[in-house]
Amino acid sequence: MTEISQLPLTVELTIGESAMSLASRLARRNGVPRMLTFCSDLGLDHKALANGNDNEINRLSSVAGCDPKAVSFWTPKFGDDGYFQLGEEKLKFTSFDRTRVRACPRCISESRERHGETGPVHLGIWQLYSIRTCHRHLCMLVDLPEPKNRSDNFDYSRILDQSISKTAAPVRRDDQNFERWLLARLENGPANSWLDSLPLHVATQLCENFGFLVAFGPEIPRSKITVEQWLKAGCKGFDVLQHGPKALTDTLKMIQLQSPVDVKQYRERYGIFFKWLRDRNKDPAFDDIRNLVRPFIWSNFPVPEGGVVLGEVCPRQHVFTPRTAQKKFGISRWKFEQRLIETGFAPKPPDGSRPVLPDYPSLETIEQIVRDIEKLRDAKSTASFLGIERGTLLILVKAGIFQVELKLDTKAPYYDSRKVSAFLAQLRKQCIKSDGSIDAGTEPFSKVAVRSQWGLGELLKLILSERLTLHADNPKTAKFHEFRVSFPVVQKAMAQQNGTFCSLSDAAETLEIDTKTVRALISLGFIDTVSRSPQETRQRWQIVSKKSVSEFDRKYISLKKLCLLREESIQYMTKELINARYLPLPLGRKTQRIFRRSDVLK
């Protein structure tokens, strides 16, 4: 190749300027109106120079008296592998827009003021689609009119000679974060982050298309997207993706949860982003992104086994809709949905309609629900299995002996058959065979509950916790109504279990009154009850505080107890109290009379 000497008339190379911009300015400086003619006169290959050929850049640098490395660094150079080299990075040709000229009006104006007619400079980075702003002047680049002759596409001085009628829109510095990262990669090469590990054309497109989904949604046609929207999209995508691949999948999940399941499938939910990724199925450089998004879709959407997502077949279905779960597992959709409500997976609809699921239930969740449903027993069969009435079953549920595993809108509760069987097995384990003498003082649970003034549920919890001995004719097959227990044994266990409470009958015995009067004292707040089980709401099963009974006994005395203390008859004491005008506590009709000790025991 013939060496070319430096021209007498040269121009100063601007940092970031491309070889074609330098050649165009040199032509203007030496009085040649067209760069194409200038290159021909000097024996420069115009097309090779436009593609960044090293030999042509070296010869141009000799003519201009410039450092060829400085010219080469910011000139896109086409390589044998089909990629362009720009700065420290390789980029696919799709990263460049080499038929449209964009520039910063303020940069052009300033370079004209500085260098005159040879001033307008075009930077190499302005050929990139993803560079849309001027970082010096914080404004958008503007499009310039295309030259009349296509051979003048890179004759930037001729193109920049045209007046720019558009005013460059200002941008915020925060909206340039993505571009600053891109420029840093071009200047210094990739850093150590996950995003930097991706090929640059993959990373930039990912930021822009994923960011557009996040910022503007999935449905806007690509043809209607503005340059300003792409700028914001790239920045939004970079803000997320700089935190790694998990940030990408977490955001995809967040987008999925913004609307109920079955409203949209993944193609509609991820719209522009998914279509962009699918359309790059022939470029292996995007495999890392496909291999990240594909498993996410398989795991979070009801893709059937054998369904194809981003070029690969789904090996098994991971999540299901209620309809597909019903079809695959043969379970009642109604029971399935109600179980999702019971477990807190789905909110209960206020109008009794089908629940709106916030997410798809996983295969593991469905298999567990299937097992749960298979072990369920309705109230009728549960009561029959135990040998009790449904009303008695309800009492046990309120006491916490059992819990409803599934309750449909028809108010038909279902119970865990394994827990029911375990309860009956425990009673049988505590049971001994009746022989007519040992169990002479035993009674059925219901009678002992009445005598002890405890609820049936509370009595059962005491029997189970204290392992009280039960009696039955045939312990191995006995059902609930066949078991008997000793009332004295129950009383002893009650006293031993907790010394802070007593039954109504015990309180009545202490105060020398009847249980009706005790209830009146409770209702008026003279005696406190002890809440051992919130489910026990029936008044007859109330348990009272021993402390409150003792405090009441120190301040008040019943007529019967006063008579015993004075060794007088009730008739005599009544007459004496009336004459002294001592009034009993106002406890209501048919209650026994109680007086203040301070009045009657002076």
Residue 16 has pLDDT above 60, yes or no: yes
Domain boundary among 357, 374, 391: 374
pLDDT at 498: 57
Rounded Cα distance between 534 and 525, Å, is 19
Nearest to 240 by CA among 306, 287, 181, 186: 181
pLDDT at 536: 43
Helix, strand, or coil here: 212?
Answer: helix
Average pLDDT over residues 238-257: 96
Confidence bin at 215 (pLDDT 50/70/90):
very high
- Flag whether 177 is in a domain: no
pLDDT at 436: 58
Same domain? 147 vs 233 = no
CB atoms within 10 A of CB 479: 16
Rounded percentage of the chain residues whose pLDDT exceeds 70: 93
Nearest to 87 by CA among 114, 52, 115, 60: 52
pLDDT at 533: 47
- Flag whether 205 is in a domain: yes
Question: CA triplet 549, 552, 555: central angle to 5 degrees?
Answer: 155
Query: Which amino acid, residue 384?
Result: S
Per the document, the length of the chain is 602
Q: Which residues contact 168 (CB under 8 A, 6 or more apart)?
A: 104, 105, 106, 134, 137, 139, 140, 141, 142
Q: Which residues contact 229 (CB under 8 A, 6 or more apart)?
A: 212, 215, 216
Average pLDDT over residues 344-348: 84
- Flag whether 14 is in a domain: no
Same domain? 530 vs 567 = yes
Residue 273 has pLDDT above 90, yes or no: yes
Query: Which amino acid, residue 101?
Result: V
**Helices assigned H by DSSP within 301-348:** 322-329, 333-342
Same domain? 448 vs 534 = no
Same domain? 78 vs 149 = yes
Residue 587 has pLDDT above 70, yes or no: yes
Same domain? 166 vs 25 = yes
Same domain? 35 vs 160 = yes
Question: Mean pLDDT over all residues of the chain?
Answer: 87
Q: pTM score, two decimals?
A: 0.68
Do 267 and 209 meet the contact criterion of CB atoms below 8 Å apart? Answer: no
pLDDT at 538: 44
Domain boundary among 337, 353, 374: 374
Reported as type and span, the H/E element at residue 406 is strand 406-407
124-183 pLDDT, tens digit per residue, is 999 999 999 999 999 999 988 888 787 788 888 888 877 666 678 999 999 999 999 999
Domain boundary among 106, 139, 171: 171
Question: CA triplet 230, 231, 232: central angle to 5 degrees?
Answer: 90
- Flag whether 11 is in a domain: no
Sign of the four-CA dihedral 184, 186, 188, 191: positive
pLDDT: which is higher, 399 or 541: 399
DSSP for 74-103, please give it. TS-EE-TTSEEEETTEEEEGGGB--SS-EE
Same domain? 439 vs 553 = no
pLDDT: which is higher, 86 or 114: 86
- Flag whether 74 is in a domain: yes
287-296 pLDDT, tens digit per residue, is 999 999 999 9
- Flag whether 77 is in a domain: yes
pLDDT at 21: 92
Residue 408 has pLDDT above 60, yes or no: no
Helices H, strands E: what count in the chain? 29, 20
Residue 570 has pLDDT above 90, yes or no: no
The tally of domains found in the chain comes to 5
463-508 pLDDT, tens digit per residue, is 888 888 999 989 899 998 899 998 888 877 776 665 667 778 888 9
Average pLDDT over residues 75-85: 90
93-139 pLDDT, tens digit per residue, is 999 998 889 999 999 888 888 888 787 899 999 999 999 999 999 99
Same domain? 472 vs 543 = no
Residue 438 has pLDDT above 60, yes or no: no
CB atoms within 10 A of CB 56: 23
Residue 77 has pLDDT above 60, yes or no: yes
Query: What distance lies between CA 600 and its chain's CA centroid?
Result: 70
pLDDT at 85: 95
Which domain range does residue 157 map to?
19-171
Pairing label, strands 431-433, 470-472: parallel
Helix, strand, or coil here: 326?
Answer: helix
Same domain? 27 vs 163 = yes
Same domain? 450 vs 387 = yes
Average pLDDT over residues 566-571: 87
Same domain? 279 vs 251 = yes
Do 345 and 384 meet the contact criterion of CB atoms below 8 Å apart? Answer: no
pLDDT: which is higher, 141 or 416: 141
pLDDT: which is higher, 210 or 500: 210
Least confident of 44-48, 389-393, 555-559: 389-393
Same domain? 370 vs 384 = no
Question: CA triplet 574, 578, 580: central angle to 5 degrees?
Answer: 120
- Flag whether 360 is in a domain: yes
pLDDT at 535: 42
- Flag whether 512 is in a domain: no
Nearest to 301 by CA among 273, 261, 242: 261
Residue 397 has pLDDT above 80, yes or no: yes
pLDDT at 537: 43
